[in-house]
Structure 1
């Protein structure tokens, strides 16, 4: 049986709280942008194709980074581990808002995300 494929999206939780106070929908949109950019950027990878072919059975997990520094630290860790992802930066402000990994077998990436909890 093939390993379960999952796409992880990590969003900054601090953006919905003061002093930022972004609307929840704006932060969700950032996650959508990151997820789509990651899928598009890695569309030739076999795992991405297999993930998309799952249709209604695709699994996406949305996690929360407490702040910008933790998000940037995660991006650095992912680069060091060779895990492909896309950081989404809101333009024109240049604010890193979230990142999405390309679809991966769950067991391959989950250990690197254990410090992050589900977005609430």
Structure 2
């Protein structure tokens, strides 16, 4: 497998978009796609991004969630403080998703998760965890965010 398997792009989405704000799931997926695309473009000349995109069929993303705008702003501050390159996607005037530049998994995982107790796997309203994917799949590599597997409505 190509070098891209050791690289990962983390996406951090606001959970309240589908709950309190009642955005459709498709709209939230679109925000993640915007953030990921923008991050890839912004950091297109970075060696990690080049390695990540070298094998398009094996790119990995991990999607994490926060509960609110306040929480996503806290995560953004920590990323800036830790000098972790990222793109904050703004929609309708407020932050909805953060996409980190692709990094070697081991390099950024601990920096991202340490001290960020609010970062957890997103919940897809109306779906059980088993319909979204296995615990291992959701907590490690999750191609295309939390919709890595086909999900069925109950």
Measured after TM superposition, the shift of residue 54 of structure 1 is 2.1
* 2:79–2:112 CA contact under 8 A, matched in 1: no
Distance (whole Å) between structure 2 residues aligned to residue 112 and residue 66 of structure 1: 20
SS of residue paired to 1:75? helix
Equivalent residue, structure 2, for 1:36 = 37
CA RMSD of aligned residues (A): 1.3
Written as runs of structure 1 = structure 2, the 5 A alignment for 1:1-120 is 4-18=6-20, 20-90=21-91, 93-114=92-113, 115=117, 116-120=119-123
State the number of aligned residues: 116
Q: Which consecutive residues of structure 2, in runs of 5 or more, have no partner in the other structure?
A: 124-154
Q: Judging by fraction of residues, say which structure has more strand.
A: 1
**Greater relative contact order structure (CA < 8 Å, 6+ sep):** 1
Q: Deviations over 1:1-52 (max 9, x none)?
A: x68100000100011012x100011111001000000000000001101100
Partner Cα separation in structure 2 for residue 12 and residue 113 of structure 1: 16
Check conservation: 2:65, 2:122, Cα contact below 8 A: yes
Please give the TM-score of this superposition, normalised by the length of structure 2.
Answer: 0.72
Offset at 1:118? 1.7
Which protein has the larger Cα radius of gyration, Structure 1 or Structure 2?
2
**Deviation for aligned residue 1:56:** 1.0
Which consecutive residues of structure 1, in runs of 5 or more, have no partner in the other structure? Answer: none
